[in-house]
Amino acid sequence: MPGRLLIPLALLGAVAGAGCGRCGGETKGSPPAPPAVALVNGEPIGADVLARELREASAGDARGDGGDVLRRRLLDELVDRTLLLQEARARSIVVGQDQVERAFLRVRAEYPGTHFDDLLAQQRLSQADLKARLADQLTVERLFEEQVYPQVQVSDAEIQRYFADHAAEFEEPEKVHVLQVVVASKEEALAVREKLRRNPQTFAEVARKSSIAPEGKGGGDLGYIGRGSGFPEVFDVTFTLPLNRVSDVTPSPYGFHIFKVVDRRAAQRRTLEQARGDIAAKLAREKRAQVQQDYVKGLRERARIEVDEKAVAGVTP
């Protein structure tokens, strides 16, 4: 499931019990371990780990949770991760360093320039910390792949039933394949439009040279769009434009647009065979999410979990 690795650093799970679970306890002369907010089968989750999670979540928590609710949710997540990693160790599940390095490079590639290092510094993480988190994430994924996901099966009957019960999902509206050039001024737009009307076959070339929109470097190709896409008052003009005709200039908050429609698809309903793959994938995702929850619930029921409520309440970002 490599797609799970390409997520913002702020969303990567903390290493449960990283302060002491990985180093085998205190050694002579080492600073004392941070106080534990919970013990999971005897393995501590440090207050510093919960504080780090709380700090990261508080910076952009979209749930609107109060402090106590957020703190409890994060602790529950740390307990779950600890249980999963314990189960993986019990089953001798390990991931190679080469896998961790590849995952690290994929995450790093998501952040251009110095943004990657800046974000690590902001979250007080080293590259080694991030690699440790990725190693845990890969380990849990492998545990799921070996012990959980094989339970998931999607039958043909389920696919057919979903298709019948969700007919509206498979209605596809009329779509047009649009190229556009966007320039900053009306004067430039009028000049470009006249040039394109004389030589409409040069539309992609002109877009690459003149368009200020992101897709300009790709010849101005927006792909297929439906009614109501983007700014409807701007883009809906394309639905009345004849094929391969260069449009009039249309203003928007982003500049001045010139369109060309190169293909048109009538409204249609996807057939069961056309939709089968998408339905199977969606149902499999839903079932995987459910069996993951059930698996963690089973681990919790068999575990010895001790929470120091006073210590939890005292944790701040």
pLDDT at 28: 52
Same fold, 2-153+282-313 and 174-266: no
Structure tokens at 141: 């994924």
User: Percentage helix, strand, coil, to 5, in the chain?
Assistant: 55, 15, 30
In the predicted model, residues of the chain with pLDDT beneath 50 are 1-27, 64-66
Identify the CATH assignment for 174-266 out of 3.10.50.40, 3.40.50.720, 3.20.20.210, 3.30.360.10: 3.10.50.40
Please state the pTM of the whole predicted model.
Answer: 0.65
pLDDT at 154: 98
pLDDT at 29: 55
Check whether domain 2-153+282-313 has CATH 1.10.4030.10, yes or no: yes
Nearest to 22 by CA among 37, 8, 11, 33: 33
Domain boundaries, the chain: 2-153+282-313, 174-266
